[in-house]
Amino acid sequence: QQQVKQSPQSLIVQKGGISIINCAYENTAFDYFPWYQQFPGKGPALLIAIRPDVSEKKEGRFTISFNKSAKQFSLHIMDSQPGDSATYFCAASFTGGFKTIFGAGTRLFVKA
């Protein structure tokens, strides 16, 4: 019940295209849903996050769409750039943030 399922495992997008990564969860006790971005040789860094009382959050080219009834959320990267090439992890946290469950990750490659 604590899993967060992420798809696809890998994604290749043309420069200027839209990248979409999907995640699904089971446990309704999660109350914080972040996306982390990781470049090779670096630790993950928070990209954007959402709480379940909001259906969408946008920060620049990055948007989280959240469907509470379906227990799904997704990351959309508009106008994808080669510099966006990285591994993206969705995650879900319980209240207080003491425990966060991460998805398996999506390797995004944006072709120039």
Partner 1 sequence: DVKVTQSSRYLVKRTGEKVFLECVQDMDHENMFWYRQDPGLGLRLIYFSYDVKMKEKGDIPEGYSVSREKKERFSLILESASTNQTSMYLCASSLVGTGGSYEQYFGPGTRLTVT
**Chain contacts with partner 1 (rule: CB under 8 A):** 2, 6, 9, 32, 34, 36, 41-46, 49, 89, 93, 95-105
- Residue 18 near residue 76, CB atoms below 8 Å: yes
Rank residues 36 and 63 by Cβ distance to partner 1 and give the closer one. Answer: 36
Rank residues 14 and 27 by Cβ distance to partner 1 and give the closer one. Answer: 27
Q: What is the dihedral of CA 84, 85, 90, 91, to 10 degrees?
A: -90
Q: Which of 110, 58, 63, 60 is nearest to 86 (CA)?
A: 110
Rank residues 83 and 96 by Cβ distance to partner 1 and give the closer one. Answer: 96
Here the tokens at position 87 are 């591994």
Rank residues 80 and 93 by Cβ distance to partner 1 and give the closer one. Answer: 93
Helix (H/G/I), strand (E/B), else coil: 5: strand
User: Minimal distance in Å, beta carbon 51 to partner 1?
Assistant: 9
- Residue 6 near residue 104, CB atoms below 8 Å: yes
